[in-house]
Amino acid sequence: MSGTDIGEIHDAETWDVLDEAWNSWGTLDSDVIAHLLNPAFVGGPTWPALRQAHVIARRQDAVLVASSGLADPTCWNTGEYTNGYELEVFGIAPDVPADSNPMTVATSWLGQMVMTVSNLVAQHGFEVLEMVEEFGVITIELSNARLPDEGGDVFVDENGSMVVMLGLMDREIPGFVNAPLAPVRLINVKLLTAAEAHFCVHNSMGEERARREIARRFAIQGSVLWSSLGRPSVV
């Protein structure tokens, strides 16, 4: 069975279960964020079935941006069939006005954060899912971060980098959806303050325990899956 065949058989079902998950949170846009020219053809990261896109869901109080394509049904060179890397990533923020047009959402710090992480996942493949499953939550540094002025001093470190946490879970969004070829994990991307990021690395309890402690504090703070430039640090 070719990659084209596997897509024709399972694409629609995969997209339907993902759409259902995002619609359970808000209202999914009919339009997607996509490139006029696929970055994979000009030296960019290659997504599993080459389709690179992002979707937007909206509520009155927040906007959700999620990757769309990391879990596309794929036929690998080994002959194995999977739902891509068996994950999609998403971020939620109240900072982006809910009535923003798709281009404004795409170029917002939320959109750029999710897109950057999506492409990092595409570069590392199944390794990201394996790490989240092993450790529960992980952190990733994003270099050359660009945030509005109100977030620069709190969320960007002295080197111009920001850190995100992947893998936080809450009943607000299902942790998995049952796609036709495998369960697909929906991995939250949460922006950390520079102090929270420093705590995850420089502490006396070890990095893994420190990440779990930050996750515990987020649970107490509330809105576990949400990122915001106005969110008080838990450190």
34 burial (CB, 10 Å; 0-12 / 13-18 / 19+) is: middle
Distance of CA 178 to the CA centre of its chain: 18
User: Which tokens go with 52?
Assistant: 């690179």
- Which of helix, strand or coil describes residue 55? strand
Q: Exposure of 41 by Cβ count < 10 A (0-12 exposed, 13-18 middle, 19+ buried)?
A: exposed
Report, as ranges of residue numbers, the positions in the chain whose pLDDT lies below 50: 1
Residue 199: in which H helix or E strand, if any?
helix 194-201
Helix H or strand E encompassing 91: strand 87-93
Q: pTM of this prediction?
A: 0.94
For residue 45, how many other CB atoms are within 10 A of its CB?
15
For 137-195, the pLDDT digits (tens) are 999 999 988 888 877 789 998 888 999 999 999 999 999 999 999 999 999 999 999 99
